[in-house]
């Protein structure tokens, strides 16, 4: 139960909000008739809404602080018993595969196109997750590598006739190359300083593409970028959209497989050690320079790969498609889904990309929703929707073998 002091605090918050919004929402000056309209109804609505929101906020904080341990233990034991059941894995995999295959044939072209965009952001999120989630390097200029991949396909196709599938590895290699170029100047930086430098790098790439007209065609961009062909067969719009969807499905599976294997590898453990403590990481004999460069290059390679797909999907690119907002969205979906968690990043990508499309009535408030979602996640679930499980080892009683 709430104390009287908590209710008084909510009333004080409500009064403060009414005071702040009074000149904007209550007073309306009619310059034509030279009159003032007093909209007291707006002030009452603001007061009631702010009171209940403040009350709800305090209630949620109380629930977080004094949550029932018995309910948590019952829920966790039920979840563990369900997940450990082999039938659960088999049925889940079969169901997911059936949904993936049937999606473009059941839903419209518009829905398939939206899902392709979401899958593209899954690849981008998993690539940035290597840099931020595993290595702990805050990169705010990740969209620059995305732009490198997109422009590599557009320019190579325009000048040399390079096809989509030939451009995929080229875009990944160019992205990795630019990731190494970014990695060298920031080897000694971390935290806020690293974020500022990477942000500047992303803006430099965008401004170069916007002002170097002879190279990138400037603000007018590059149009008529060909979509991938199926063994030289001309496809219709519906067939092309379906084809792009299945290409992205394969790229997502490839990305999940590679990222998962990297996380379990020697370099993956080095990234995690670098994130936890750089001094201890060096004391264990890990080369900090190479480890950071590997992280930047690997993450940038997946951004370059996704950039090639983006150029082929949209058939038109210009520098306005690669602003800081894109980097912020990719970073936000990682934080929302769960930093370092593969399934968390996938969940965050679907939420951030699909919800704005299905809730277009609130498109004007997209940034407000992003900010509110980040605040709520940081307060009530800072680990993200799907928390990354830390690996641990224990010694069994029989045989003395280590089990993970």
**Domains with residue ranges and CATH for the chain:** 4-67 (no CATH), 109-392 (1.10.3470)
Radius of gyration of the chain (CA): 25
Q: Are 119 and 180 in contact (CB under 8 A)?
A: no
Identify any residues that bridge with 223 across adjacent strands, giving them in sequence order. 316
Q: Are 297 and 304 in contact (CB under 8 A)?
A: no
H-run or E-run covering 37 = strand 35-38
DSSP per residue over 3-17, as a string?
A: -HHHHHHHHHHHHHH
Q: How many C-beta neighbours within 10 Å does residue 369 have?
A: 15
Which tokens is 301 given?
């390679």
Q: Are 370 and 332 in contact (CB under 8 A)?
A: yes
Per-residue pLDDT of the chain (404 residues; tens, 9 = 90+): 456 777 777 788 888 878 888 777 778 877 777 788 788 887 888 888 888 777 777 777 776 666 544 444 444 454 455 555 566 667 778 888 888 888 888 888 888 899 999 999 999 999 999 998 888 888 888 999 999 999 999 999 988 888 888 999 999 999 999 999 888 888 777 778 888 888 888 889 999 998 988 888 888 888 888 888 877 777 778 888 888 999 999 999 999 999 989 888 888 888 888 888 888 888 888 888 888 889 999 999 999 999 999 999 988 898 988 888 888 888 888 888 888 888 888 888 888 888 777 766 666 666 676 677 777 777 777 777 777 766 665 666 555 444 44
Give this prediction's pTM.
0.78
Residues 6+ apart with CB under 8 A from 192: none
Which class for 256: exposed (0-12), middle (13-18), buried (19 or more C-beta within 10 A)?
Answer: middle
Q: Phi/psi of residue 31, each to 5°?
A: -70, -25
Identify any residues that bridge with 27 across adjacent strands, giving them in sequence order. 38
Between the CA of residue 153 and those of 28, 42, 74, 79, 232, what are the distances in Å? 54, 53, 53, 45, 18
Please report which residue ranges of 227-365 form alpha helices under DSSP H: 237-264, 266-276, 278-283, 288-314, 324-337, 342-358
- If you ran DSSP here, which 8-state letter would residue 23 be given? I
Q: Are 116 and 245 in contact (CB under 8 A)?
A: yes
């Amino acid at each position: 139960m709430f104390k009287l002091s908590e209710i008084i605090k909510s009333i004080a918050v409500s009064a403060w909000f009414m005071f702040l919004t009074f000149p904007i929402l209550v007073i309306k000056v009619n310059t034509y008739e030279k009159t003032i309209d007093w909209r007291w109804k707006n002030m009452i609505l603001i007061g009631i809404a702010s009171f209940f929101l403040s009350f709800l906020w305090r209630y949620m904080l109380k629930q977080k602080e004094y949550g029932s341990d018995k309910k948590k233990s019952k829920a966790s034991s039920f979840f563990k018993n369900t997940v450990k059941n082999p039938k659960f894995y088999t049925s889940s995999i079969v169901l997911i595969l059936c949904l993936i295959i049937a999606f473009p044939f059941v839903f419209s072209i518009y829905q398939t196109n939206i899902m392709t965009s979401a899958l593209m952001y899954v690849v981008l999120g998993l690539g940035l997750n290597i840099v931020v989630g595993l290595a702990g390097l805050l990169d705010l200029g990740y969209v620059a590598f995305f732009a490198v991949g997109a422009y590599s396909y557009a320019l190579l196709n325009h000048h040399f006739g390079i096809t989509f599938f030939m451009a995929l590895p080229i875009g990944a290699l160019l992205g990795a190359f630019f990731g190494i170029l970014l990695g060298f100047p920031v080897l000694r930086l971390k935290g806020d300083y690293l974020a500022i430098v990477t942000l500047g790098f992303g803006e430099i790439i965008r401004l170069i593409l916007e002002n170097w007209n002879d190279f990138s065609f400037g603000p007018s961009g590059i149009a008529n970028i060909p979509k991938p062909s199926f063994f030289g067969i001309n496809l219709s719009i519906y067939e092309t959209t379906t084809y792009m969807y299945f290409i992205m499905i394969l790229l997502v599976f490839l990305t999940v497989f590679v990222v998962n294997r990297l996380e379990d590898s020697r370099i993956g453990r080095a990234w995690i050690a670098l994130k936890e403590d750089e001094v201890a990481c060096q004391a264990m004999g890990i080369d900090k320079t190479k480890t950071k460069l590997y992280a930047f290059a690997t993450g940038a390679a997946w951004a370059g790969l996704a950039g090639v797909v983006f150029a082929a999907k949209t058939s038109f690119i210009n520098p306005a498609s690669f602003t800081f907002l894109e980097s912020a969205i990719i970073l936000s979906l990682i934080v929302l889904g769960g930093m370092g968690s593969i399934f968390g990043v996938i969940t965050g990508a679907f939420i951030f990309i699909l919800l704005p499309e299905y809730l277009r009535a609130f498109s004007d408030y997209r940034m407000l929703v992003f900010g509110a979602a980040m605040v709520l996640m940081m307060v009530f679930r800072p680990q993200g929707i799907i928390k990354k499980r830390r690996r641990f080892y224990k010694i069994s009683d029989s045989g003395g073998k280590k089990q993970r």
